[in-house]
Amino acid sequence: MATTLPDYLNSSVPNPAEKRAPWYKNTFPSYAGVFLWFAFYLQIAVSTLSQASVAVCLAGIVVAGLLCFGLYYYAPGMLGMQTGRPLYVVGSSTFGTTGGYLMPGLLMGLLQIGWFAVSTYFATDYIIKGLIQLKILNQPSSTLFTIIAIAWAYGLALLALKGIAYVAKIAQFLNWVPLIMILVVFWANMGGISSYQPPKDDALGGFLTMLAVIIGFFATAGVPLLSVAGYLGGHPGATDYTYTAAITSAGSLGTVAFFLFAIASMIPTCFCTFIASNSFGTMLPKIPKTYSTLVGVTIGAILAVTGVAANLIGFFTIVGASFGPICGAMAADFLLAGASGFVVGILDKVPGVPASLVSLDRPAVLWSFVVGFVVYFALAGIRPPVVAMK
């Protein structure tokens, strides 16, 4: 008996190999701007460098990068290359036509709204910090924060919806801004790197935490981590492990860096909006894409204004817990595999779970991948029949 495919699969048209642009002209400019985004390394030293040496933390970054490539990125990327289909269609081959609608279909859009909220919050926060550094503002203002955040959110959302092609062109130049600022902040702090000693001796804990942070969303983290170590080593008694402290120590260049980092956040903000818009438009075709996107943008703006989006580590944990099992079950067809992995990924957030069990779950994002893979493998024999696409 023939099976009817849902609209989001019927409307999918593969992109033939001869029409694809080289990676350095296509995905590289956009993703370079995302990976250089300061929010990814803003708090990377807080739970890592505070308990392990610089060498151990750098080793964690290298190992996490290799794990990202081998376990999380390679299989989905190669499936996309072989089929010419986007992630939500490849996901349907894994989780079925129903499961693919939720994971990674709608889930991708919802997580992008989360990233949008994070981008809006921290870009606004850096603009405020820059104004304070210039003595234009004496202290943080919640009213001004709200005004800037709302203007940022809706202004860039409309730009992403109506002019994403222009954003892509700007990204080719604007991406150099955070890279240069990273090097400037590193130069200002590198003298103290050799003097840094962690106040807490837990090399394994720092290493595992670094794996969780990087795999949650891999970033260009090594140089900013060294910058924080240099700041702490050069300022005995300092206890601020955020990248913001390292920026401040760069003097007048640090003041400029706050504004430039905020400006560079335009690219990831627009990029998140664009991905969310495509996800909602594809998965919710009966709702105009502009309306569904603006609803998501409004939610993101509220998360930013209320400060919920400031919890970076918590958000990285959710991202890792969500996509760990999805990647682990990319060869599967059974939705239960992904659901099981997600529970493992957020085990530390489940009430009543013993601390001893939570400690064994580090890094949760890696174990959630393993659970997704193993559960699929065990249940592969009861997969539903394959439905061919045109």
pLDDT exceeds 60 at position 333 = no
Distance, CA of 372 to CA of 318 (rounded, Å): 15
What's the per-residue H, E or C state across 150-190?
A: HHHHHHHHHHHHHHHHHHHHHHHHHCHHHHHHHHHHHHHHH
Q: Which residue has the tokens 């001796």?
A: 201
- What are 185-203's pLDDT values in tens digits? 999 999 999 999 998 889 9
pLDDT exceeds 70 at position 354 = no
Phi-psi region at 5: left, alpha or beta (left = phi > 0; alpha = psi -120 to 50): beta
Show the DSSP H helices in 175-283 as ranges.
176-189, 203-216, 222-234, 243-248, 252-264, 266-283
> Which of 242-256, 318-332, 342-356, 368-382 is modeled with the greatest confidence?
242-256
Give the torsion sign (CA, 40, 41, 43, 48).
positive
% the chain with pLDDT above 90: 24
* CATH fold of the domain at 31-382: Hydantoin permease (1.10.4160)
Distance, CA of 269 to CA of 327 (rounded, Å): 25
pLDDT at 1: 41
pLDDT at 183: 92
- Residues 6+ positions from 230 with CB-CB distance below 8 Å: 186, 189, 190, 191, 192, 193, 196, 246
| Spans of all domains in the chain | 31-382
Nearest of 169, 151, 167, 186 to residue 41 by alpha carbon: 186
Provide the token pair at 297.
């943008």
- What are 275-321's pLDDT values in tens digits? 888 777 777 777 888 888 889 899 989 989 998 888 766 666 666 66
**What's the pTM value of the predicted model, to 2 decimals?**
0.74
Distance, CA of 8 to CA of 281 (rounded, Å): 9
